[in-house]
């Protein structure tokens, strides 16, 4: 161990000096960074030459767009431009690269500066520029990230905070990168699996619209000229076709209004809860939704506990990461019970959602004192089950869509053919 004399910024205008014990200059700079300081110079004790921090930029080297004057408000939340957004893939790449840079000995400020310079996503580049300026002003990484809640979740910020306090920021960022990449992979699988069914549905709906707006109106004149009484299915089909072809603007307004009202209702607590509850009652969707939420719950809780975050705080963070409100309500009930002294396994046993396998793995982990390892294993198991559930869902969705579209098209064709059969019978 050697002693180094340092001069560092603790805030926009507060400069501190002191000494610190470290293996070498790079280690001393890293320790100062983790303490929330921005090193200006680091000098080996007894040396008359000051060794300036290489990554500390001069005023000329700081990009002009990377920050705002010190007098501006601290609220720097990102305003994402239209058609531009920060995806989970951007966040995963940033986390992985930041972990690699810090593990290579590059200081925090310089690492963020490098990522800022190479970023090609304008909204994310703006965020990185503000984070870079915040770190330069003497704030810690988690304080800088917390100013952008739309980009960095409470889970992300709390994980980084625990890593900075424990002096293992690189390891925490590695875990966060693994976690984020896993989430991105799961979402990508679901999206790619839905491409073909959605394309099939779009083509089927287009065919129905063409039949109702172009084909049926041309047949209506033929039927009316004959003066023959039309069957009820044909009359209903002609009415629908007339509304869509002659009053298309009213149809469009009605559909748009229905979609708008449904979205508004879905955004309410009651509507969102009812939809989430319905998802857990539909057989195939139930498996996909529940297993995905359980895998996320286990993986997130394991990651937080591995980094020393207390279980109550971990569960409070996880609540915001769960999409399904029914599962979220079960976790909130567990938080209340744990705060009264109950164990997690006991709380989950009272739940009607969590399966026995998951509950037993948590209970065994609590008994052995390694609940985070049990959660990690069960999360991996459920990740594999999610993959199988996606395949089952898409395999069943295709024939269901074919049957539904076939039934609708068949009803239209039969409604057209019925009058022709009547005409043939009269002719005979």
In the 3-class helix/strand/coil scheme, how is 214-255 assigned residue by residue? HHHHHHHHHHHHHCCCCCHHHHHHHHHHHHHHHCHHHHHHHH
Per-residue pLDDT of the chain (428 residues; tens, 9 = 90+): 788 888 776 655 567 788 888 877 777 777 776 666 767 677 787 654 444 443 333 333 333 333 343 333 333 333 444 446 888 888 888 988 888 888 888 888 888 888 888 888 888 889 999 998 888 888 888 889 989 988 888 778 877 887 777 677 888 888 888 878 877 887 787 778 778 878 888 888 888 888 888 878 877 777 766 666 777 888 888 888 888 878 888 888 988 999 999 999 988 988 888 998 898 888 878 888 888 888 888 888 887 787 777 888 888 888 877 888 888 888 888 888 888 888 888 888 888 888 888 888 888 888 888 888 888 888 888 888 888 888 888 788 878 888 888 888 888 888 888 877 766 555 55
d(CA 41, CA 54): 9
Helix (H, G, I), strand (E, B) or coil at 315: helix
Identify the architecture of domain 75-152 in CATH: Up-down Bundle (1.20)
CATH topology of domain 2-52: Ubiquitin-like (UB roll) (3.10.20)
Supply the pLDDT for residue 34: 65
Of 131, 117, 122, 129, the closest CA to residue 86 belongs to 122
pLDDT score recorded for residue 3: 84
Task: State the pLDDT at residue 371.
Answer: 85
At the top level of CATH, the class of 181-428 is mainly alpha
Cα gap 423→428, rounded to integer Å: 9
pLDDT at 57: 37
Contact call for residues 238 and 230 (beta carbons, < 8 A): yes
Give span(s): CATH 1.20.81.30, the chain.
75-152, 181-428
**Hey, is 42 helix, strand or coil?**
strand
pLDDT of residue 423: 62
């Amino acid at each position: 161990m050697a002693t180094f004399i340092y001069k560092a910024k603790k805030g926009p205008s507060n400069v501190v000096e002191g000494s610190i014990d470290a293996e070498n200059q790079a280690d001393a700079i890293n320790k100062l960074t983790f303490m929330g300081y921005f090193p200006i110079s680091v000098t080996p004790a007894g040396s008359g030459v000051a060794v300036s921090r290489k990554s500390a930029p001069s005023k000329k080297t700081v990009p002009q767009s990377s920050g705002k004057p010190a007098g501006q408000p601290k609220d720097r939340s990102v305003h994402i431009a239209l058609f531009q957004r920060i995806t989970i893939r951007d966040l995963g790449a940033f986390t992985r690269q930041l972990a690699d840079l810090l593990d290579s000995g590059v200081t925090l400020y310089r690492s963020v500066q490098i990522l800022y310079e190479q970023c090609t996503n304008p909204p994310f580049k703006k965020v990185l520029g503000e984070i870079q300026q915040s770190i330069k002003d003497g704030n810690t990484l988690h304080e800088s990230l917390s100013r952008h809640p739309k980009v960095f979740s409470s889970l992300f910020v709390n994980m980084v905070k625990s890593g900075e306090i424990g002096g293992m920021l690189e390891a925490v960022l590695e875990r966060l990168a693994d976690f984020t990449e896993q989430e991105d992979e799961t979402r990508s699988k679901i999206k790619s699996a839905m491409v073909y069914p959605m394309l099939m549905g779009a083509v089927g709906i287009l065919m129905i619209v063409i039949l109702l707006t172009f084909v049926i109106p041309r047949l209506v004149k033929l039927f009316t000229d004959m003066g023959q009484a039309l069957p009820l299915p044909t009359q209903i089909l002609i009415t629908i076709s007339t509304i869509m072809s002659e009053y298309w603007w009213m149809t469009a307004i009605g559909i748009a209004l229905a979609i708008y009202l449904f979205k508004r209702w879905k955004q309410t607590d009651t509507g969102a809860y009812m939809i989430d509850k319905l998802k857990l009652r539909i057989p195939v969707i139930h498996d996909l939704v529940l297993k995905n939420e359980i895998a996320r719950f286990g993986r997130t809780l394991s990651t937080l506990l591995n980094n020393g975050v207390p279980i109550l705080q971990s569960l409070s963070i996880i609540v915001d990461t769960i999409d399904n409100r029914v599962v979220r309500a079960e976790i909130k009930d567990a938080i209340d019970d744990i705060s009264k002294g109950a164990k997690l396994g006991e709380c989950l046993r009272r739940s009607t959602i969590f399966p026995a396998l998951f509950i037993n793995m948590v209970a065994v982990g609590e008994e052995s004192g390694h609940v985070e390892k049990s959660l990690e294993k069960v999360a991996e198991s459920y990740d594999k089950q999610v993959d199988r559930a996606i395949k089952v869902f898409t395999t069943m969705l295709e024939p269901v869509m074919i049957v539904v579209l076939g039934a609708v098209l068949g009803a239209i064709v039969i409604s057209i053919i019925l009058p022709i059969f009547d005409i043939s019978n009269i002719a005979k």
